[in-house]
Structure 1
Amino acid sequence: MSNLALELTRVAVAVAALGGSSAEFGGLSDAAVLAARGPIADLLRLSNTVAALLAGTIARRSRPELGQSGLAARYGLRNPTLMVQDATGLSRMEAGRLLAVGVLMNDTETAERRAADAAREAELAAQVAAEAVAEAVAEAEREAARAAARAAA
């Protein structure tokens, strides 16, 4: 399970422990009411993050180049915004914003993965180059030693 999923689970448990009715919340002390703001805000933030990840996935699987085989089209929806709206119950404008955030998150994650892959490849290339230089230096030293031995003889 990812860190996001673990954090979401932890926060959801903390919020659920607060209660599930007006009477239960009404029975909380002032300090508990004030303390509840943090976990509830965290839950909202994390659930919005998860919703954006879902929206980004819907967008990727509903790309225009996929045509009628795209996810939204296969379910009879004209575009991914309508699918996000249907999935979340948000207004069309809010669904569009969530979709834009999800696409940005997906693009950022993809770019970070590519950068990490490129860094690993560069590190490997540098290691191979360093080994080649070390071998070339060692061979040059051996050749110099052979030349010195021939000259001394």
Structure 2
Amino acid sequence: MLRLLIKLNLYLSSVGVAIMATLIAWIVFMRFFAGVTPHWAEELPQFLLIWVAMTGAVWCSKNNSHLSAGILALWLKDQKITQFLHRVVDVLIIAAMVLLTKSGWDLTLLTMNQHTPAMQWPVGLLYLSVPVSCTFIGLVHIATLCASWRSSHE
């Protein structure tokens, strides 16, 4: 089930990037060739950028493709210590994602009655990207932790 959610997440991020690129091309065309800028020209790409970045973080977390220095692997040669530290990192990330999910949800509820200037969308929709993505990242790390736990006990 988690694999399906991550694939859906990646698909939605990809579609979001494609829509954002199309929108920006349309805005540039309208601004320079038609001399008119749509009223939503700044807000909609910002919404998409934030949602794409937050949902893309789930895929990066699943594939360990986020930024890391990789120095720990050079220092530690013992595989057991390395596995232990990876588990500690997973637990810390899960704890951080629980806190961020709760805080993001509170902020979403707090700002749901405020509206954006141009499109009149609830600002809470923008902040909703935080609890959604943090929940998925937490689930990814729970699955990673469970898988590493199972592999060490076999």
TM-score, L = length of structure 2: 0.31
Tell me which structure has the larger Cα radius of gyration: 1
More helix by share: 1
Q: Which one has more relative contact order, counting CA pairs under 8 Å at least 6 apart?
A: 2
